[in-house]
Structure 1
């Protein structure tokens, strides 16, 4: 990526962070930013058969695209970008689980939910996948994510054109219990119980 574009993006990301409710899990060391909110949408059945439904408290996941773009500087191979993303997600999920376990609202939070085009290969990590309704918001979200791919990916423009058909926008989600079971260190205990 062009260094000037990356610098401008970094300035915009700082402004964006200050204008939103997004929280860092661990700034500069975690690929996720999160926001605590009430879920709005169709019921989601998780891999461990729990249900997230409208009104439930969730952590909305956002990949920190600017941070990931800085990690991808100088990487030109498609496979290396994918492996880099997967490695940082695997590194970030235990930190996310530990963060959630210490939140005051831990007993009320039902799970984690994100929206992404990069959903292939997430099911072995504990996530479930579902379609999103293509409302105006999700049309905007898809446009934004396509722009991010163009900026981050070494074959950005060509990759976006190929992904239009094979990489639709999807929801990815996991129950709090499954997150804790898979990623919370045995030495750490949730602040409250994990039963819903």
Structure 2
């Protein structure tokens, strides 16, 4: 990625952060930013058979794209980018679980939910995947994420064209119970291995 473009993106990201309710899990060390809100959408059934209904309180997760772009600077290989993203998600999930455990409204939170084009390989991490309705909001979000992919990925223009049909926008989600069991303090203290 062009260094001057990355600097401009950093300035924009700072403005964006100040204008939204997104919170850092751990700035500069965690790929997620989050916001608690009411879920709006179709009923979701998680891999551990928990149900998230329209109106339930969730933690909306967002990949911190600018942070990830800084990590990818100079990386040219597709596989290395994918492995870097997976590693960042795996390192970030325990901190996300700890953050959720510390939230005052933790008892009412049903799970974590995000929307992404980069959903391949997330099911072994505990996430479930479903389609999103292609209304105006999700069409805009897909356009925005494709634009980011063009900027972040070392061969972004080609990848966007190649992934046009292979990388649809999807909803990824996990119940609070599954997140805490797999990545929370109980998991860490018992030394469980998945």
C-alpha contact 1:46 1:128 (8 A) present in aligned 2: yes
CA deviation string 1:86-129 (max 9, x = no partner):
00000000000000001000000000000000000000000000
CA deviation string 1:137-194 (max 9, x = no partner):
00000001001110110110000111111110000000000000000123879xxxxx
- The corresponding residue for 1:174 is 174
Compute the RMSD of aligned alpha carbons: 1.1
Task: Normalising by structure 1, report the TM-score.
Answer: 0.95
In the alignment, the residues of structure 2 paired with residue 157 and residue 88 of structure 1 have an alpha-carbon distance, to the nearest angstrom, of 24
Query: 3-state DSSP class of the match of 1:142?
Result: helix
Query: 3-state DSSP class of the match of 2:105?
Result: coil
In the alignment, the residues of structure 2 paired with residue 156 and residue 143 of structure 1 have an alpha-carbon distance, to the nearest angstrom, of 14
C-alpha contact 1:98 1:188 (8 A) present in aligned 2: no
Residue correspondences, number:
189
Check if 1:49 corresponds to 2:49: yes
Per-residue deviation, 1:63: 0.2
How do 1:18-37 and structure 2 match up within 5 A?
18-37=18-37
Structure 1 ranges of 4+ moved more than 6 A:
none
Distance of aligned partners of 1:103 and 1:188 in 2 relative to their CA distance in 1, 3 Å threshold: farther
- The corresponding residue for 1:61 is 61
CA deviation string 1:30-68 (max 9, x = no partner):
000001100000000000001001110000010000000
- The corresponding residue for 1:79 is 79
Structure with a larger share of its residues in helix: 2
In the alignment, the residues of structure 1 paired with residue 36 and residue 148 of structure 2 have an alpha-carbon distance, to the nearest angstrom, of 23
Task: Normalising by structure 2, report the TM-score.
Answer: 0.96
